[in-house]
Amino acid sequence: MRQTILLLLFSAISYGQSISGNYEFHYRENRTPNGWDKVETSGKVIFYEDRETNTVTIITSDRKELLYVKSRQLFIKQGSFLYTLVDDDYRECSFRVVVKDTLNTLEFYYYSDRVGEKYYRLILMKCED
């Protein structure tokens, strides 16, 4: 019993930290009925959090989207975070971030009801600050 509690505590500490900083991606994969459609576009995702603000910014060559975090949940077993966000026009979206071994590589799954951006995936790599 004591070992189980220690293991859970260690896991919570390992994955319990929030994702922060700058990440880059080299392509985007749009979900289609036949699988994933790779689009050659690169950009950056910035996770920012302080005492008063918690935002995620997605930047590509033709767009900058600032999203405010409404909620964030951590699923330790899957090593993933689930975010619910809102933009300046109060449109909601959500995404799931899957941690791959460390916080240096993340799988980013975006979900919304927006035309052309209903569901896509990014592979994020931590930028050197």
The pLDDT of residue 19 is 87
**Block residue for tokens 């975090």:** 69
Q: What percent of the chain has pLDDT over 90?
A: 57
- Rounded to the nearest 10°, the torsion over CA 16, 18, 22, 25 is 60
Domains and CATH numbers, the chain: 18-126 (2.40.128.20)
**Hey, what are 118's tokens?**
């209903």
pLDDT tens by residue, 55-113: 999 999 998 999 999 999 988 777 899 999 999 888 999 999 999 878 899 999 999 88
Could you tell me which of 113, 81, 119 has the C-alpha nearest to residue 97? 81
The pLDDT of residue 129 is 63
Give the side-chain half-sphere CA count within 13 A for 40. 0
Q: What percent of the chain has pLDDT over 70?
A: 85
Higher-confidence position of 56 and 33: 56
The band of 116, judged by pLDDT with boundaries at 50, 70 and 90, is low
Burial track 86-98 (b if 16+ CB lie within 10 A, e otherwise): eeeeeeebebbbe
Determine the residue type at 17. Answer: Q
pLDDT at 122 over 90: yes
